[in-house]
Amino acid sequence: MAKDKTPQTSRAAAPERATSAGEVDAFLTRVAAMPAVKPAGGRGRLVFALDATASREPTWDQACHLQAEMFDEAASLGGLDIQLAWYRGFGEFHASDWADDAPALLRRMTGVHCLGGKTQIRKVLKHALAETAVKKVNAVVFIGDCAEEDVDLLCDLAGQLGVRGVPVFMFHEGREPGARRVFEQIARLSGGACSSFDAGAASQLRELLSAVAVYAAGGRKALEDYGARKGGAALRITRQLKQG
């Protein structure tokens, strides 16, 4: 576990590059290697969490568009309930009701406005723990660009989610190395995966988000069917599944 107690990662713009095909494949391979389980009761549950602080405002509209496509993909499966969660400002944290109505979720998300403040990733992880204690959560997706919290606390919460079989998929916007290290640790300890995301990787992020949604909705079998239908990186993941 990392030694630094409170990583103060910079919000200044860092040099960016498009996410490489190798990184996308590595992320998809990680999803493919997860346990071949079908969500209990036939419906998956996915917590979709967002950093809505001011530093994310320049790419917020693009992120909303991509996330809307993920919702559409999940809705087409007919088996995924999604809960939106976000933080912003001074200690402000919100979570929507659980729903399978993609248009309603999108309207809720596009109604959120970014507001300056510190990161509150711990609240996202604590919220996921509380939700899965009530009813099983199959996966958590988090999109953010910074981490300004006690890394040991975040790792402990991530480990608790891992013990409960709730993988966290961390999508890191930009290239800030300190935040990336924290995101990777959260993903690893929870049993999830981490991938970068920037303005040059919109189509790749779409594939990554959709793969997680499909997995949460129907397990590995649904992911195999999705890959056969979509091709590209999604098809590569199904080949890896069959070889595993």
Is 78 domain-assigned? yes
Mean pLDDT in residue range 157-172: 92
**Rg of the chain, C-alpha, whole Å:** 16
Range of the domain at 47: 39-218
Percent of the chain with pLDDT over 70: 65
Is 147 domain-assigned? yes
Mean pLDDT in residue range 39-46: 71
Of the two residues 220 and 156, the one the predictor is more confident about is: 156
The pLDDT score that the predictor gives to residue 86 is: 92
Is 13 domain-assigned? no
Is 26 domain-assigned? no
Is 17 domain-assigned? no
The pLDDT score that the predictor gives to residue 178 is: 92
Mean pLDDT in residue range 173-182: 88
Question: CA of 199: how far to CAs of 69, 175, 187, 194, 203, in Å?
Answer: 16, 11, 22, 17, 10
Residue 155 has pLDDT above 70, yes or no: yes
The pLDDT score that the predictor gives to residue 200 is: 54
The pLDDT score that the predictor gives to residue 166 is: 92
| pTM, entire model | 0.78
Find the CATH number of the domain harbouring 148: 3.40.50.410
The pLDDT score that the predictor gives to residue 123 is: 97
The pLDDT score that the predictor gives to residue 12 is: 42
* Residue 104, phi then psi, degrees to nearest 5: -65, -40
Tokens of 52: 């809505």
Residue 189 has pLDDT above 70, yes or no: yes
Is 90 domain-assigned? yes
Percent of the chain with pLDDT over 90: 29
**62-71, 81-90, 135-144, 218-227 — which is least confidently predicted?**
62-71
Of the two residues 72 and 184, the one the predictor is more confident about is: 184
Could you tell me whether strands 139-144 and 193-197 are parallel, antiparallel, or unpaired per DSSP bridges? Answer: unpaired
Nearest alpha carbon to residue 83 among 192, 220, 218, 213 = 213
The pLDDT score that the predictor gives to residue 13 is: 40
Write the pLDDT tens digit of every residue in 91-137.
999 999 998 776 777 777 777 888 899 999 999 999 999 999 999 99
Is 22 domain-assigned? no
Is 30 domain-assigned? no
Distance separating alpha carbons of residues 22 and 172, to the nearest angstrom: 16
Q: According to the per-residue pLDDT averaged within each range, which of 22-31, 189-198, 215-224 is highest?
A: 189-198
Indicate the number of domains in the chain: 1
Q: How confident is the model at residue 34 (pLDDT cuts 50, 70, 90)?
A: low
